[in-house]
């Protein structure tokens, strides 16, 4: 792992602990601020990494792009598994999620885990938003370091 | 070769971690007390070695040996101290300790933000990785 990756990891961890203090009573609000940080990062990032790509049309293709190019840009690896019900629900599974890989390989720290995935939820939502896809992204963690992101696309009717 | 046990201390002398593999004889006191005694002895040896040295001591205290076991000491620049007890015939323990510091301690303690600095290590992952690392070393050095 290069020095700049470590810097990103450390900065991310500090932002998380700054945003979500342990005794905080407003944890939901804190998390939503953190999610918004991710949202604007994702929104801007997608602008930068798609500048040389042709326009995507299909929703699925865009999701595939998120799983491959976008994920390797941020996390230096691809998403391990992408599943969909073809009705606007997608599940992205990363079996070795970067922010969990040093934390635990079981259920220790499970209570603290969601706050380390919130930024990424925002990142995905922001990226999709800039493609014109409004969505809700939630996270499911059972056994670390694996992590599942549920994407619920809001139908624009 | 056999590795008996390891102590990890921080700069202030707090016992961060203790683990043993094959230790046949117990000291007959609590872990905390034993750790205090161990740290006190290391502290004394360190200053003794520095004072008595005829030249600039450079790396200072490295290890001591009895007829039954050898104690190896490695201190990082930040003052984290690794103490490893092995049998007397083991070589290159310094490299092993340096690698342990770099690959296990830094990776799974420093980079784990749920681990508070200066507090005993409770991470399960660290425990697993340390155990794996030592067992692998024992295997390769045999």
Q: Where is pLDDT greater, at A4 or A26?
A: A4
Residue A69 DSSP label: I
Instruction: Please indicate whether, in this complex, the C-beta atoms of B112 and A103 are within 8 angstroms of each other.
Output: yes
Tell me which chain B residues have a C-beta less than 8 angstroms from the C-beta of A2.
none
| Residue A65 banded pLDDT, cuts 50, 70, 90 | confident
The number of CA neighbours under 13 Å toward the Cβ of A141 is 24
pLDDT at A104 over 80: yes
| Residue A40 banded pLDDT, cuts 50, 70, 90 | very high
Question: In chain A, what percentage of residues exceed pLDDT 90?
Answer: 32
What would the two tokens of residue A9 be? Answer: 């990891």
How high is the mean pLDDT of chain B? Answer: 89
Question: In chain A, what percentage of residues exceed pLDDT 70?
Answer: 92
pLDDT at A112 over 80: yes
Instruction: Please indicate whether, in this complex, the C-beta atoms of B123 and A16 are within 8 angstroms of each other.
Output: no
Mean pLDDT within B49-76: 89
Instruction: Please indicate whether, in this complex, the C-beta atoms of A102 and B124 are within 8 angstroms of each other.
Output: no
Collect all residues with Cβ–Cβ distance below 8 Å to A124 and sequence separation of at least 6.
A38, A42, A66, A92, A135, A137, A149, A151
Contact yes or no for A134/A48 (Cβ under 8 A)? no
pLDDT at A156 over 80: no
Q: Which of A6, A17, A104 sits opposite B113 (nearest CB)?
A: A17
| Residue A23 banded pLDDT, cuts 50, 70, 90 | low
Residue of B nearest to A1 (CA): B107
Q: How far is the C-alpha of B27 from the C-alpha of B15, rounded, in Å? A: 17
pLDDT tens by residue, B82-123: 999 998 888 888 899 999 999 999 999 998 888 888 899 999
pLDDT at A50 over 80: no
Please tell me the predicted confidence (pLDDT) of residue A147: 92
Please tell me the predicted confidence (pLDDT) of residue B65: 92
Axis crossing angle, helix A27-49 with helix A113-130, rounded to the nearest 10? 40
Tell me which chain A residues have a C-beta less than 8 angstroms from the C-beta of B112.
102-103
A12: three-class secondary structure by DSSP: helix
Mutation site, A101, A102, A107, interface B, largest B CB count within 10 A: A102
Could you tell me how many residues make up chain B? 142
In this prediction the ipTM stands at 0.78
A143 to each of A94, A107, A114, how far by Cα in Å? 11, 6, 12
| Residue A22 banded pLDDT, cuts 50, 70, 90 | low
Contact yes or no for A91/A84 (Cβ under 8 A)? yes
pLDDT tens by residue, A131-147: 888 999 999 999 889 99
pLDDT at A117 over 80: yes
B51 to each of B44, B61, B73, how far by Cα in Å? 11, 11, 18
A110 touches chain B (CB under 8 A): no
What would the two tokens of residue B115 be? Answer: 């681990």
Please tell me the predicted confidence (pLDDT) of residue B113: 85
Q: How far is the C-alpha of A49 from the C-alpha of B79, rounded, in Å? A: 43
């Amino acid at each position: 792992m290069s020095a700049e990756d470590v810097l990103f990891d450390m900065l991310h961890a500090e932002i998380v602990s700054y945003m979500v203090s342990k005794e905080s009573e407003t944890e939901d609000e804190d998390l939503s601020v953190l999610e918004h940080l991710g949202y604007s990062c994702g929104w801007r990032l997608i602008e930068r990494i798609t500048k040389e790509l042709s326009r995507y049309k299909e929703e699925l293709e865009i999701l595939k792009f998120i799983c491959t190019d976008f994920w390797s840009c941020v996390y230096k690896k691809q998403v391990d598994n992408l599943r969909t019900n073809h009705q606007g629900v997608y599940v992205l599974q990363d079996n070795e999620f970067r922010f969990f890989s040093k934390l635990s390989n079981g259920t220790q720290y499970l209570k603290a885990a969601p706050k380390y995935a919130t930024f990424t939820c925002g990142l995905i939502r922001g990226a999709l938003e800039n493609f014109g896809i409004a969505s809700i992204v939630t996270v499911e963690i059972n056994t670390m370091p694996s992590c599942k992101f549920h994407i619920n696309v809001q139908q624009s009717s | 070769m056999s590795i008996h046990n390891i102590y990890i201390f921080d700069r202030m002398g707090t016992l961060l971690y203790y683990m043993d593999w094959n230790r046949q004889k117990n000291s007959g006191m609590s872990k905390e007390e034993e750790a205090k005694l161990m740290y006190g002895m290391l502290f004394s040896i360190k200053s003794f070695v520095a004072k008595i040295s005829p030249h600039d001591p450079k790396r200072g205290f490295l290890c001591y040996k009895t007829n039954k076991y050898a104690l190896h000491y490695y201190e990082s620049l930040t003052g984290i101290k690794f103490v490893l007890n092995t049998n007397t015939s083991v070589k290159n323990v310094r490299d092993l300790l340096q690698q342990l510091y770099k690959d296990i301690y830094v990776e799974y303690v420093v980079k784990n933000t749920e681990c508070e600095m200066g507090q005993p290590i409770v991470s399960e992952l660290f425990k697993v990785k340390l155990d794996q690392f030592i067992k692998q070393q024992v295997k390769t050095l045999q």
